[in-house]
Structure 1
Amino acid sequence: MKDDHTTGTARDEVTLGRIETEVALLLRLGEATRRGTGTMEHRLLDRAAYVILRHLANAGPQNVSALAAKLNLDGSTVTRQVSAMQRDGLIARAPDPTDGRGTVISATHAGLQRMAAVQAARTRLYGDILADWSADDRETLAEMLHRLNGALESRNRRR
């Protein structure tokens, strides 16, 4: 007779291996789908600009350090991305009212418009991809992805 703990552990390892594989495929296929979509809206922003604009739209103006911490990126990486976005008119810099030496970054109207166009195009794309899924299955997927992202954020905050 098998030990339930050993059997459960082996089953957990198989399940975790499947999750790792599926997440890796999700990331690869998601990016390939974005690149392969023929509509212009998907090309209005690169992935980094989209993520930064989504965060600024939700959280409001931020200094680069706070933005880098929230996005779990190096400050120099965010500074480069923000500089490019400022050149493109997607974000604006203003003096930081809490630190006279610093600046805060905010999304411009043009940046928010582009972000909204990309978001709408992505929503339509996922609507097409998941068209034959039931509403309950789509809701379950949304909830599970939310929980996974929350667990990933929590782990990254602890590091």
Structure 2
Amino acid sequence: MRDDANAEDVTLGRIETEVALLMRLGEATRRASGTAEHRVLDRAAYVILRHLAAAGPQNVSALATRLNLDGSTVTRQVSAMQRDGLIARTPDPADGRGTVISPTAAGLQRMAAVRAARTRLYGDILAGWTPDDRESLADLLHRLNDALESRTRRR
């Protein structure tokens, strides 16, 4: 039984190392990319715009909860994005005292440019992989993200 536990520890250690490398290399690859599309949005703005485009207008509190961020952090990011014309604030129909945030056409356009550039980049990086391997990677990454998200919700 101890051999199985040791093998599991080794596997989990490999996973931890690979995830750490993935995060570091993913960001380094984005920064080193020669295309301007990768730099038209910072990472935080891209994530916020992607979420708003998928989920629709939200107040800052709901956005912070969904992104697992502190409300003050999201407020600062949203303020900067509003100054840059990437998002708009409108009265919250559920609570007239509050506002909801939604992407502007310019914000959606920039997000689409970044997404397309990232898709092309990963297409190049994974060009030697079979379609089945790409699909498996996408499925496994989705499962990992779901597990990570579930864990953060329980805390």
The C-alpha deviation readout for 1:71-90, integer Å capped at 9, x for no partner, is 00000000000000000000
**2:128 aligns to what SS in structure 1?**
coil
Give the aligned partner of residue 64 of structure 1.
Answer: 60
Residues 101-127 of structure 1, C-alpha deviations (whole Å, 9 max, x = no match)? 111000001000100000000000000
Partner of 2:9: 13
Larger Rg: 1
Aligned residue pairs total 155
- Structure 2 segments unaligned to the other structure (5+ residues): none
* One-letter amino acid of the counterpart of residue 142, structure 1: A
RMSD value over aligned CA atoms? 0.5
Distance (whole Å) between structure 2 residues aligned to residue 58 and residue 142 of structure 1: 19
Match of 2:149 in 1: 153
1:6-57 per-residue CA deviation (whole Å, 9 max, x = no partner) reads 1111111100000000000000000000000010100010000000000000
Q: Corresponding residue for 2:116?
A: 120
Give the letter aligned to residue 37 of structure 2: E
Q: Please identify runs of 4+ aligned residues in structure 1 that moved more than 2 A.
A: none
Secondary structure at the counterpart of residue 133 of structure 1: coil
TM-score, length-scaled by structure 2: 0.99
Q: In the alignment, which residue of structure 2 is the partner of 1:87?
A: 83
TM-score by length of 1: 0.96
Q: Could you say which residue in structure 2 is the equivalent of 1:110?
A: 106
Paired residue secondary structure (2:82): helix
Overall identity of the aligned pairs, in %: 81
Instruction: Point out where structure 1 has 5 or more consecutive residues left out of the alignment.
Output: none
